[in-house]
Chains A and B, each alone.
Chain A
Amino acid sequence: AQSVTQPDIHITVSEGASLELRCNYSYGATPYLFWYVQSPGQGLQLLLKYFSGDTLVQGIKGFEAEFKRSQSSFNLRKPSVHWSDAAEYFCAVGLPGTYKYIFGTGTRLKVLA
């Protein structure tokens, strides 16, 4: 069955430190991959997406993600975290040939001043 795993429920980093949020998916082929961010009590905003081509994709707010087919992973990174990055981050896959998306359980990021 298709699934998305975000193994880290909570992550705490200091402001200015680097960040990596992990995402692994289970699917028979390469799905469409997304990272979204959700501020408390709000909807989700797209950070970046991957469909094909260059496996390193750039997004908004200084985020990037790398697709690794061999590891079925799509990890999100940021070289220097800002306090305003504190939020919940969701990895999602879109299933080709359908209208459906599957979301991971999310990683809540806390940023220490």
Chain B
Amino acid sequence: SQTIHQWPATLVQPVGSPLSLECTVEGTSNPNLYWYRQAAGRGLQLLFYSVGIGQISSEVPQNLSASRPQDRQFILSSKKLLLSDSGFYLCAWSVGVGPYNEQFFGPGTRLTVL
């Protein structure tokens, strides 16, 4: 069966520090991978998605970047965190062309920037 992992589960970082959040998927090949940020009362904001190794689409200009070094690994990074980067970060995967398949979500990472 398929499984999606995210770590760390929680993270407290000072402003200006770097960030690396990792997401890995097991049990499927060639998944579409997604990073979302969830802020209170604002729903899920799509940050990045990837349909293949090295292919990254950015949805929102921001202080973050994403990389996909392996088929089932998706990394969210920042060189210098801002206070506004605080939030709940969710990784998700789906398969197939077009969004008619459901997304499967990881457990999320709670990031607090102080």
Residues of A within 8 A of B (CB): 4, 6, 9, 32, 34, 36, 41-46, 49, 51, 90, 92, 94-106
Contacts and interface: CB of A to CB of B under 8 A. Distances in A.
Interface in B68-114: 90, 92, 94, 97-100, 102-108, 110
Interface of B: 4, 32, 34, 36, 41-44, 46, 49, 51, 57, 59, 90, 92, 94, 97-100, 102-108, 110
A46 B103 CA distance: 8
Given A41-B110, A45-B105, A99-B51, A51 B43 contact: no
Contacts, number: 70
A99 B98 contact: yes
Q: Which of A34, A43, A92, A96 has the most CB of B within 10 A?
A: A43
Given A90-B44, A106-B43, A95 B99 contact: yes
Nearest to B57: A99
A90 B43 contact: yes
Contacts of A51: 100
B90 A101 contact: no
10 contacts: A42-B108, A43-B92, A43-B106, A43-B108, A96-B99, A99-B49, A99-B51, A99-B94, A100-B49, A101-B103
Contacts of A98: 98-99
Contacts of A9: 41
